[in-house]
Structures are given as C-alpha cells and as structure tokens.
Amino acid sequence: MSQESINSLSLLTGRTRRTVAMRLEQLTPVKKGKALMYESREALPVIFEDRSRGALDLGQERARLAHHQANRERMREADDRTGLIPAEAVKAYGAAAVTAVEARLRRVREEVRRRFPDAPPEVLKVLAKLHREAMAELGDDGLHTELRGLLSKTNDD
C-alpha cells in the first residue's frame, strides 16, 4: 500500500492534475504536510473509472488546448503588426525619462550657481521653483494627464 499525492498520481496516470483532483473528490485524503495523500489502491480505480457522461476526452482536450494556443498566437501577431506597446512598458519608460529630466534639471541649477556665483539668491530661488513646477507637471511617470487616464482605464478593465 502506497500513498501518493495528486501530482504523482497525475504523472503516473498521464491525466491532468485537474482531472485527477476532480475524480478523487469522492475519496478522503490523508494530509501529510501540505500535500493531500491518497491510497493508490483506492485512487487508481477511481481515476481510470469510465465516466461516459461528462468524461474528459484526450482528443477533445488536445483540440481545446490547440485552439487556445492558436488564439494566443493570433493576438501576439496582431500586437506585433499594430506595434502596440504594453502599458507597463510605457509607464516604465516614462518614469525613466522623468528621472533623467530631473537629474538634468538639477545639473542645470548647479551649473547656473557655478557660472554666476554673484547671482542674487532670488534668481536661484525662482529657478528652483520653476524646476519644481516642471517636475510636478511631469508627475512620477512623465505621462500627460490624458494618457495617464487612458492607461488607468485600460488597467481597470
């Protein structure tokens, strides 16, 4: 008598894990750690039991899988043809651009201080204020408000 987990029964029988789990619902498992263990003498007949109504047909399952794989491939090809970029990539690029702009603006402010050491403090304060306003306008991701709204709608759907 050996006890087997759903995963090992799936490997032994060639059935999907989902099929094995559905068929074993009628049996009482023994819990060992996180795994549910089933007595192989009880589990194997239940797994191989002929269920004419609602039975999973290997050919049908393969056809269903092939259909979904083909749909996914068509979607990838459509994305490649239209040149669509994932929203996450747009946000990441925008955030990187904002970081680069912010660093450059700080260098400009420091350069003005270095080149014009006698400049009135008011000028440097105005320059700092303009930089802060520009950064606030760009936001964290550098995206225009309308584009940010469109991307959030896309992610909400």
Residue 56: pLDDT over 90 = no
User: For 86-107, what is each residue's pLDDT tens digit?
Assistant: 778 877 888 888 888 888 888 8
Mean pLDDT of 71-93: 83
pTM above 0.85, yes or no: no
Residue 76, amino acid? R
- Which residue's entry shows tokens 């191989």? 48
Instruction: For the chain, list the strands marked E by DSSP.
Output: 3-5, 30-32, 35-39
Q: Which two tokens stand for residue 34?
A: 């996180």
